[in-house]
Chains A and B, each alone.
Chain A
């Protein structure tokens, strides 16, 4: 972006972009922030910091392009750089460890294959949310971006600074982990998970 020589926006243009291209995404931004931090105050701070940064660097945003992805990228970077360290959430399973484990070619699908469609359909919103929230942050993030926010793989690659192939494989691993969680919920609810 920095290579592109773009003329600076006037104050009026800045306000226009901010109001019409940035602010409409505040709901999604807050939900993303909340799902990263699990804390209302942290989520508010994170969204606020993101919008202030977005305003400060507004000249590097090209009017009419994908504002939502641009904002999500700033929010994700702020979270990693500032909030993750002081997060009230105790640290989850080390991501690298999990990724290495699931990177092995022979994932045992027999564990998840007996999770039944009907059991999933009957689950409550809280159960789904809890299962999602229990995933390590990098796995949780790809599911949020893809399934809840509807970003394309290409957009996700830009938001997360990873190649598209990694987006695809990380999503796949995240979904396997989510199914493990859903399966334990199904068992606890008394569903017969065996065929």
Chain B
């Protein structure tokens, strides 16, 4: 259980700028945050319920995209075909 869960009663229920905040939270999830990322994130998650929910939902969606998306098997002959074609154009 997330430790932030316990403090949900103290979070504001409306986010004043969802578009901006959610974009920022997503860039933090993507590893694109600035130097003070940790502080910004902690503060938003502790104080804003929509930000808290958005962050955790996006986090789990990112994880299932990474882990569950159908992977397509590389056709076995493709690499060899490419090598042959390269030989032809040399």
Question: Are the C-beta atoms of A120 and B57 separated by less than 8 Å?
Answer: yes
A1 in the interface (beta carbon within 8 A): no
A61 in the interface (beta carbon within 8 A): no
> In the assembly, what is the distance between CA of A47 and CA of B81, in Å?
11
Chain A 151-169 interface residues, beta-carbon cutoff 8 Å to B = 152-153, 168-169
Question: Are the C-beta atoms of B75 and A147 separated by less than 8 Å?
Answer: no
> In the assembly, what is the distance between CA of A157 and CA of B66, in Å?
21
> In the assembly, what is the distance between CA of A178 and CA of B79, in Å?
33
Question: Are the C-beta atoms of A52 and B82 separated by less than 8 Å?
Answer: yes
Known: A34-B72, A179-B57. A169 touches B31 (CB 8 A): no
Contacts of B69 in A (CB 8 A): 125, 128-129, 132, 148
> In the assembly, what is the distance between CA of A153 and CA of B64, in Å?
20
Q: B58 to chain A: closest CB distance in Å?
A: 6
Chain A 102-133 interface residues, beta-carbon cutoff 8 Å to B = 105, 107, 109, 113, 115-117, 120-121, 123-126, 128-129, 132
Question: Are the C-beta atoms of B26 and A128 separated by less than 8 Å?
Answer: no
Question: Are the C-beta atoms of A48 and B50 separated by less than 8 Å?
Answer: no
Query: What's the dominant secondary structure at chain A's contact region?
Result: helix
Could you say which of B27, B61, B81 has the most chain A C-beta atoms within 10 Å of its C-beta?
Answer: B61
Q: B30 to chain A: closest CB distance in Å?
A: 6
Contacts of A169 in B (CB 8 A): 23
> In the assembly, what is the distance between CA of A30 and CA of B65, in Å?
17
Known: A52-B86, A113-B53, A168-B27. A26 touches B61 (CB 8 A): no
Chain B 22-81 interface residues, beta-carbon cutoff 8 Å to A = 22-23, 26-27, 30-32, 50, 53-54, 56-58, 60-62, 64-66, 68-72, 74-75, 78-79, 81
Contacts of A182 in B (CB 8 A): 61
Q: A69 to chain B: closest CB distance in Å?
A: 16
User: Would you mind naming 16 contact pairs between A and B with Cβ atoms under 8 Å apart?
Assistant: A30-B78, A48-B81, A51-B86, A52-B85, A52-B89, A56-B89, A109-B22, A113-B50, A117-B56, A117-B60, A123-B68, A128-B68, A129-B68, A168-B23, A171-B26, A172-B19
